[in-house]
Amino acid sequence: MIARAGSVDSIAAALLANGLILRGGFNFAPGEAPTTGATGGPARSVLLVGQAGAAPWPHFLRWRERQPQTIANPLDSWSRQVIGDVAQAFGARAVSPSDKPYLPFQQWAMRAEGLKQSPLGILMHPQYGLWHAYRGALLFEEEIALPEAREAIHLCDACVEKPCLKSCPVDAYSREGFAYQSCLAHVRGANGGPCRDGGCLDRNACPYGTAYRYPPEGQAFHMASFSRAAN
């Protein structure tokens, strides 16, 4: 067990100072953890770190003003720094969703918060809708006392119209998965302005969690990095 009483609350408070939140966690079964903790021993537990809506955005922008403008993936760098500091203070190892080989963040998230995938592949949250993300995780070599996550209400089950599958000009999301080459070509192309400036049209068509929708400049930032990184 993480020995110090209130550690999880202290971790949550340290993250909140940067607009980040704990997104649940769980204990790995013996031999199950795909990676190690801070001292190289097997990880026994994981706490997921992420965001609801755009809460970290102003913190990130303030940090970015002080950085060279040439950083390749500034949001990843900021996340690694902030979550890395918290990890060090609490004896954890910080990992990022962008670390390769990719760690199964979405599977972890489903288990930690009882979430399911929306038709877009992004996880649907009962409060935040599609407007949430994972910025890192803290791996501990000890177990954590956490309540077992219960399955969350999956709003997509009750959504008959599924506007998220009807707004993309190139039908990039379908039951066959995400046609990301089509998405990329459109986003980069002459008619991709609305996606580039305001974000994914399918994601924005979702009627849930709209109070958490990222502001257009945040969505444009993510779309620009998607457009640069994917190939």
**Residues of the shown chain interacting with ligand B12 in the complex, contacts defined by CB under 6 A:** 97-98, 102-107, 121-123, 132-134, 178, 180, 183, 200, 203, 222, 226, 230
> With respect to ligand B12, which residue has the nearer C-beta, 90 or 105?
105
Minimum distance, C-beta of residue 6 to ligand B12, in the bound complex (Å): 28
Q: Give the C-alpha separation, 230 to 72, whole Å.
A: 14
Minimum distance, C-beta of residue 132 to ligand B12, in the bound complex (Å): 5
> With respect to ligand B12, which residue has the nearer C-beta, 87 or 133?
133
DSSP state of 211: G
The sign of the CA dihedral 124, 229, 69, 186 is negative
> With respect to ligand B12, which residue has the nearer C-beta, 88 or 107?
107
Residue among 210, 222, 29, 49 at smallest CA distance from 130: 210
Residue 104, preceding bond cis, omega within 30 degrees? no
> With respect to ligand B12, which residue has the nearer C-beta, 2 or 209?
209
Alpha helices in 70-205 (DSSP H): 74-89, 105-113, 180-188, 193-198, 201-205
Minimum distance, C-beta of residue 133 to ligand B12, in the bound complex (Å): 4
Q: Which helix (H) or strand (E) is 47 found in, with range? A: strand 45-52
Minimum distance, C-beta of residue 61 to ligand B12, in the bound complex (Å): 18
